[in-house]
Amino acid sequence: MLNQNVSNTVAALPCTSCLRHSACLGACVQDAVGAEGENACITTMTLQRGQPLFRAGDAVDAVYIVQSGALKSRRHSYNGEEEIVAFRLPGDSVGLDAIGNREHGTEAVALCSTRVCQVPLTTLRREVHASPAVASHLLDDLGREIGQLQEHLRDERRTAQVRIAAFLLAQLQRRRRLFGAQIDRFTLPMTRIDVGRFLGLATETVSRMFTRLQTDGVIACEGNSVQVLDSTMLARLADVAESFQPLARVA
Amino acid sequence: MLNQNVSNTVAALPCTSCLRHSACLGACVQDAVGAEGENACITTMTLQRGQPLFRAGDAVDAVYIVQSGALKSRRHSYNGEEEIVAFRLPGDSVGLDAIGNREHGTEAVALCSTRVCQVPLTTLRREVHASPAVASHLLDDLGREIGQLQEHLRDERRTAQVRIAAFLLAQLQRRRRLFGAQIDRFTLPMTRIDVGRFLGLATETVSRMFTRLQTDGVIACEGNSVQVLDSTMLARLADVAESFQPLARVA
DNA sequence: CGGCCAATTGAACCCAATCAAAGAATGTGG
DNA sequence: CCACATTCTTTGATTGGGTTCAATTGGCCG
């Protein structure tokens, strides 16, 4: 969509200009480092659509935080097909999944014009020891990463419609957390193809589920802009849809 | 199977008696703490089959390392069905997925008589700051946790037979890494039901795939003891089975 | 022995993948 | 600015793999 010719700029912008400052690992590191080390620590860069932040096999030398835009973390299966492991939205850390490794196992690609904040790994490792706040923040982000993956595993047993509903809700919930507005109307930064490769569904199935949700009056969408008309029904589809039975809790 | 009446014993055994000492996070912490704090730091406990190490909702106050036996990390879906997130084998950390949270989101249950080593979270957090080795080890274990979850996500697109083959290989490879023997013959600590709830398959499908692998001469199994007859074929089923096509690598 | 649980096998059904094709949207080059 | 190319999206028809339902066997334990 917005495919301006923005080059891969690296600037020493102050991280304090970031909207997500309070919840940002990078900002936390910067506070620990102190103002004097500002320029040596945090840098920002802008990626255009399709541009990789890092590739699989690249050395792990930094962690990134999304300031605006969106990325997908992906890898390729043995037959060469794209598998999307996670979408990275503003406030998310990128590259944490390679911590403990020398090389990245996945690659991160911008879905649209995207600004990220870079924290060198040497700085991060140093501050983990120096600052309890940084260590705590890092563990929080890692825990979030694990939690999201575990949540994603739920999809294994779900039907296509439930997966789509849960996916939309996840997008909603995360956006609700980040901002405080635009709850019922937002724009998906990823294509239907991306959604399919994230959820393990064929593109056609994704499309069909979107149209079904539309005909059922749950959502209205035009292209990638989605409006939630009946959030109650959407939540019911995502959660309770599986438990219309008396639901006896297992001991 | 082996369901002796072993009670939940807590003893101050020295961690050095553990076979997996070199690769164990707990041992690493103990080295950092020093010998004098030995008794106050690391304790071991034995669980019998079905006994929980911790439950969902429990306060996160320790991390555990499996010394012998096996556990499953599970939770319950909205309709009350068991979802198995991971199996924990000797050398694995248990409870790391809740780091960054106050409460456990999953519960860990022993699959058989199991001995685990307990590292209090206060000790761990303290040593993360004090010892670079502990910090590095912790990040390694967290990275492994994330890597396993990402690997598990592959299953989404795979057929039942490929899932089972990959599952057996994962068990094999991990056991091969841990010990140095029993490569082609081993005993699965989990039931077919557990395998199904881990892989997102019906129990009947798991059973069918096992019998198919048997009739194809890939494995021979009697109960939970599995013997791999044709490891090449097993690996081909798990990996290459998806790419009998000319396989054009995506750019 | 009877009850319980795990495992196995068969038959019918169902959801999602696949194949096929056309339309919409976006970007490119003349 | 328009024609063309490419990618994305949508819809229909068909197929297939896995679930579901159902029945049977075998082991373990009270």
- Give the tens place of pLDDT for each residue, A101-127: 999 999 999 999 999 999 999 999 989
Range of the domain at A141: 7-152
Last residue of a domain, one of B152, B185, B202: B152
Q: Using the CA of B202, which nucleotide's C1' is the nearest one?
A: D19
Locus of tokens 């960054």: B100
The reported pLDDT for the residue numbered A251 is 33
Examine the domain organization and report whether B194 and B220 are in the same domain: yes
* pLDDT score for A39: 56
Residue A246 has pLDDT above 70, yes or no: no
Residues A233 and A193 in one domain: yes
Q: Which CATH number is B226's domain given?
A: 1.10.10.10
Chain-chain contact of B154 with A83 (C-beta, under 8 angstroms): yes
Using the predicted structure, report yes or no on whether residue A244 has a pLDDT greater than 60. Answer: no
If 0-12 CB within 10 Å is exposed, 13-18 middle and 19+ buried, where does residue B179 land?
middle
Residue B251 lies in a domain: no
pLDDT per residue as tens digits for the range B102-127: 999 999 999 999 999 999 999 999 89
CATH code assigned at B133: 2.60.120.10
Tell which of A90, A118, A152 closes a domain. Answer: A152
* H/E segment holding residue A165: helix A160-178
Q: B72 pLDDT band (50/70/90 cuts)?
A: very high
Name the closest residue on chain B to residue A136, using Cα atoms. Answer: B100
pTM: predicted TM-score of the whole model, two decimal places: 0.88
**Touching check for B143 and chain A: CB below 8 Å?**
yes
Q: Are residues B114 and B138 in the same domain?
A: yes
Are B78 and A239 a contacting pair at CB < 8 A? yes
pLDDT digit string, tens, across residues A158-198: 999 999 999 999 988 888 877 766 778 889 999 999 999 99
Answer for A161: CB within 7 Å of strand C. yes
What per-residue confidence (pLDDT) applies to A240? 58
Asked whether residue A52 falls in the same domain as residue A11, the answer is yes
B247 found inside a domain? no
Distance of B230 CA from C24 C1′ (whole Å) = 51
Type of residue found at A114:
T
Give the three-state DSSP class for B244. coil
* A205 falls within a domain: yes
Judgement on whether residues A124 and A29 belong to the same structural domain of the protein: yes
User: On chain D, which bases lie within 7 A of the protein's CB atoms?
Assistant: 8-13, 17-22, 28-29
Q: Which residue is nearest to nucleotide D20 (CA to C1')?
A: B202
Average pLDDT score over chain A? 84
B57's tokens? 């909702």
Q: Which of the two residues, A75 and A3, has the higher pLDDT score? A: A75
Distance, in angstroms, between B96 CA and closest chain A CA?
8
Q: Is the CB of B214 under 7 A from strand C?
A: no
- Per-residue pLDDT of B173-211, as tens digits, reads 888 877 666 778 889 999 999 999 999 999 999 999 999
In a domain, B250, yes or no: no
Domain assignment of residue A79, yes or no: yes
Domain boundary among A88, A123, A152: A152
Label residue A14 by pLDDT band (50, 70, 90): low
Identify the residue among A140, A157, A237 best suited for mutation to test binding to B, counting B beta carbons within 10 A and taking the highest.
A157
Tell me, what's the pLDDT at A31?
Answer: 81
B65 and B94 within one domain: yes
Cβ neighbours, 10 Å, residue A22? 9
- Radius of gyration from C-alpha coordinates of chain B: 19
CB-nearest to A242 from B77, B147, B155 is B77
Q: How many domains does chain A have?
A: 2
- Stated as kind and residue range, the H or E segment containing B25 is helix B25-33
* DSSP assigned state of A59: B
Q: Of the candidates B176, B188, B150, B191, which has an alpha carbon nearest to the alpha carbon of residue B231?
A: B176
In a domain, B249, yes or no: no
Q: Does residue A245 fall inside a structural domain?
A: no
Same domain membership, residue A141 and residue A168: no
Q: By CA distance, what is A236's nearest residue in B? A: B78
- Asked if residue A28 and residue A121 are part of one domain, the reply reads yes
B12 has pLDDT over 70 = no
Chain mean pLDDT for chain B: 84
Edge-to-edge order in the sheet of strand A62-68: A10-11, A43-47, A114-120, A62-68, A93-94
